[in-house]
Amino acid sequence: MLQDFRVRQRDFILEITRAITAQLELSEVLRRVLNASVVMLGGQLGLIALRDPSETYRIRATLGIDSEHAGELGDQLNTLLADESLDYDSFTEQLTRMAIGLDRRMRQSFALPLVFAEQPLGLLIVFRAQRALATADDIQILQSFADQAAIAVHNAQLYARIDEERQQLAAIVEHSADGVMILDPDLHIVNFNRALERMTGWRPEDAIGSSYDDVITWKKLNQGDLRRALDDGWPNKAGDPAHETLYVEGDLMRRDGLTKSVGIIFAPLFSADGRLARIIANVRDITNFRQAQEMQNVFISGISHELKTPVALIKGHAATLRRDDVEWDKEIVREYSAVIEEESDRLTALIENLLTASRIQAQEGINIDAGDLRLDQLAARVVERFNTQTSGHKLVLDFPPNFPVIQGDETRLRQVLDNLISNAIKYSPNGGEITIGGYATAASATVYVKDQGVGMSDADQERIFERFYRVDGALSRKTQGTGLGLYLAKAIVEAHGGRIWVESAPGQGATFFFTLPL
- 3-state SS record for 168-183: HHHHHHHHCCCEEEEE
Same domain for 398 and 349: no
For residues 492 and 1, what is the distance between their CA atoms, to the nearest angstrom?
100
Measured between alpha carbons, how far is 29 from 143 in angstroms, rounded to an integer?
Answer: 17
Do 267 and 282 meet the contact criterion of CB atoms below 8 Å apart? yes
Three-point CA angle 124, 132, 45, nearest 5°: 35
Domain boundary among 259, 285, 311: 285
- Give the single-character DSSP code of 366: -
In a domain, 366, yes or no: no
Assigned domain for 123 exists: yes
Q: How far apart are CA 498 and CA 509, in angstroms?
A: 24
d(CA 322, CA 319): 5
- Specify if 64 maps to a domain: yes
Mind listing the pLDDT tens digit for each residue in 137-165? 667 767 777 787 788 788 888 888 888 88
**What pLDDT is stored for residue 282 in this prediction?**
93
Q: Could you tell me the end-to-end alpha-carbon distance of the chain, in angstroms, rounded to an integer?
A: 104
C-alpha 275/C-alpha 284 separation (Å) is 27
Alpha helices (runs of H) in 106-258, residue ranges in sequence order:
136-175, 194-200, 204-207, 212-215, 226-231
Residues 6+ apart with CB under 8 A from 317: 336, 337, 339, 340
CATH number, position 459: 3.30.565.10
**How many angstroms separate the CA atoms of 416 and 484, rounded?**
11
Residue ranges making up the domain that contains 383: 371-517
| Helix, coil or strand: residue 502 | strand
Q: From CA 437, how far away is CA 445, in angstroms rounded? A: 11
Q: What is the DSSP letter of 238?
A: T
Residue 2 has what pLDDT?
A: 47
Question: Is residue 203 helix, strand or coil?
Answer: coil
User: Do residue 476 and residue 454 come from a single domain?
Assistant: yes
303: domain CATH number is 1.10.287.130
The pLDDT score that the predictor gives to residue 299 is 66
Burial of 160 from C-beta contacts in 10 A (0-12 / 13-18 / 19+): middle
Distance, in Å, from the CA atom of 351 to the CA atom of 119, rounded to the nearest integer, reads 71
> Among candidates 491, 499, 498, which has minimal Cα distance to 517?
498
Name the DSSP class of 211.
B
Residues 280 and 317 in one domain: no
What is the domain count for the chain? 4
CA distance 153 to 168: 22
Q: What is the pLDDT of residue 201?
A: 92
Residues in the chain with pLDDT < 70?
1-23, 134-135, 137-138, 141, 237-243, 295, 297-303, 305-306, 361-365, 472-482
Asked if residue 105 is part of any domain, the answer here is: yes
Write the CA distances from 10 to 16, 17, 142, 476, integer angstroms: 10, 10, 10, 91
Q: Are 147 and 34 in the same domain?
A: yes
Other C-beta atoms lying within 10 Å of the C-beta of residue 190:
12
**To which H or E segment does residue 371 belong?**
strand 371-374
**Domain stop point among 147, 168, 189:** 168
Q: How far is CA 266 from the centre of its chain?
A: 20
Instruction: Indicate whether this model's pTM tops 0.75.
Output: no
pLDDT at res. 1: 47
